[in-house]
Structure 1
Amino acid sequence: MTLAAKAPPDERVSTPNVFDRLIVRPEIGALLGAVLVFVFFSVVTEQFLTVGGAATWLDDASTLGIMAVAVALLMIGGEFDLSAGVMTASTALVTAMLATKAGWNVWAALLAALVFALAVGALNGWLVVRTGLPSFIVTLGTFLALQGLNLGVTRLVTDTVQVSGMRATDGYESAGYLFASTIPIAGVEFRLSILWWVLFAAVASFVLVRTRFGNWIFAVGGSAASARAVGVPVQRTKILLFMTTAFAGWLVGSINILRFASVQANQGIGLEFQFIIAAVIGGCLLTGGFGSAIGAAIGALIFGMARQGIVYARWDSDWFQLFLGAMLLAAVLVNNTLRRRAERVRR
């Protein structure tokens, strides 16, 4: 009696190999890029790999990373926020004016700035979901409105375009300790903003991959109509995502005003494109439904390493723009390739 031929394993229950498990991760391309940038500048410069050098490029990446993570969540949900950059200045100005001109305690001023930021974020989200207008247009209008308010109100109150004097306000020392202090490591001062960046990225990543709300984000970004059909609260999800971006703007604005003790009314303009680029480098697709919070944090790290690496190498800083353009194009191509590969692996 002959033994029956062994049936081939069912591909539906087969275990994917290590490469396939890695390729479905949106941040894998950014991680490889970060390693390459790190190795390159470690070789061509002497300061980059020192403790002081690491403190510098991590600090450079920290505030950008906080915003990039929030923007990444919004992009995964299928929307954009062009007011994210100017929001960092608006919240800093609210805090500074209330503390220095109205005599408020810094903590009360920070709370008022937070309420302002969340209100603007909620308004952005509400306008997008209620009017059906592209978020690009809605937040462009918010960007222009906030820019005008920043300049107009600051000049009206101070006769200049700058608010300063935070160090003399009540509550500055304790607030500054929480948002803008330093931690000594190996004789070098590391900014606390680095810890805020890591914490924010970790919480965002947990929410995105381990909670129901994270599933909602991917669903509304992939197809809002399909998500709504299976009971996902599309409008609430999008509004909360815009409020998250506004919260990140408040956090960065608070870090900046307490660190530098002054703020310019035109601060933050143009940074929104850097946030988007960092998110794209980190694995987010412009079409939504695919991306990673950790990847966006890594994308910001690439920014910080490249920007400071160019300085350490004593190159013209204009080359940084060329680097950004090349990284953006490469990231879009890699992300599209990884997305198609991931879809094949998951079938």
Structure 2
Amino acid sequence: MSTQQDLDLASHKVVHDERVKEQRRLQRLLVRPEIGSLFGAIAIFVFFMVVAPPFRSPEALATVLYASSTIGIMACAVALLMIGGEFDLSAGVAVTTSSLAASMIAYNLHLNLWAGAALALVVSLAVGFFNGYLVMKTKIPSFLITLSSFLMLTGINLAVTKLVTGQVATPSVSDMAG
């Protein structure tokens, strides 16, 4: 090596940055943000296991898992959008729209409940396609597009149920075929 290269290497300072230093496996695991949520969920679960004896029954666990699944399915889709840098404000009211569509189609058209659910799936897919199409074609941020969808769907839900049934509620699902 030449003396100039030796001088360049000797004068090069090593910068230590704590963000890129080597960490142990346990330390890497504990600094992840989802670990705090996991510990919180475990603490709440243990708390209710100790304080509320009915919570220990298999029926209670089934109820908790059922409620978690209905929220979790929607949360997975919203999480995928957030990973992609988008946001969907209309997801909650879209669930209400699809459930109203399922019950109103099945009850008012005297169809089987499964047919109403299939047609409600088509309505839900149409809402999602509408939001995605507008975001891609207009380049307006998804926050604004889905906010407007949220408001439109809320108004449509109220107006259609009021127009069709004379009230803003639908009949009980237990009275329907299927």
Normalising TM by the smaller chain, what interval? 0.7 to 0.9
Query: Does residue 128 of structure 1 match 2:147?
Result: no
Conserved? CA contact 1:79–1:135, under 8 Å: yes
**Superposed displacement of residue 42, structure 1:** 2.4
Number of aligned pairs? 157
**Structure 1 pair 56–133 and aligned structure 2 pair: CA distance change class (3 A):** same
What amino acid maps onto 1:96 in structure 2?
Answer: S
Among 93, 97, 105, the alignment partner of 1:86 is 93
Runs of 4+ off more than 4 Å: 23-26
Unaligned ranges ≥5, structure 1: 1-14, 173-347
Q: Does the 8 Å CA contact 1:99/1:166 hold for their aligned counterparts?
A: no
Alignment of 1:66-215 (within 5 A): 66-170=73-177, 172=178
Match of 1:82, SS?
Answer: coil
Instruction: Report sequence identity in percent.
Output: 50
Question: Residue 44 of structure 1 corresponds to which residue in structure 2?
Answer: 51
Letter in 2 for 1:135: S
Could you report, residue by residue, the CA deviation over 1:25-75 in whole angstroms, capped at 9, with x for unpaired residues? 653232122112122232333333333432333333221222222211111
Uncovered stretches (5+) of structure 2, i.e. residues with no partner? 1-21
**CA 1:63–1:141: 2 relative to 1, 3 Å:** same
After TM superposition, the structure 1 stretch with the greater mean CA deviation from structure 2, 36-45 or 70-79, is 36-45
Instruction: Return the letter of the residue paired with 1:49.
Output: R
Distance 2:102 2:139 in 1: 33
Return the alpha-carbon distance in structure 1 between the equivalents of residues 47 and 136 of structure 2: 45
The structure with more radius of gyration: 2
Q: What's the RMSD between the two structures over aligned residues?
A: 2.3
Higher strand share: 1
Normalised by the length of structure 2, the TM-score is 0.76
Q: Which has the higher contact order (CA 8 A, sep 6+)?
A: 1
Secondary structure of the 1:27 match is helix
Bigger shift: residues 148-157 or 55-64: 55-64
Return the alpha-carbon distance in structure 1 between the equivalents of residues 111 and 62 of structure 2.
33
Q: Which residue pairs with 2:16 in the alignment?
A: none
CA deviation after TM superposition for structure 1 residue 168, in Å: 4.3
Change (3 A) 1:169 1:50: closer
Task: Tell me: CA distance 1:32–1:87, structure 2 relative to 1, closer, same or farther (3 Å).
Answer: same
Q: In the alignment, what sits opposite 1:59? A: 66
Paired AA for residue 35 in structure 2: I
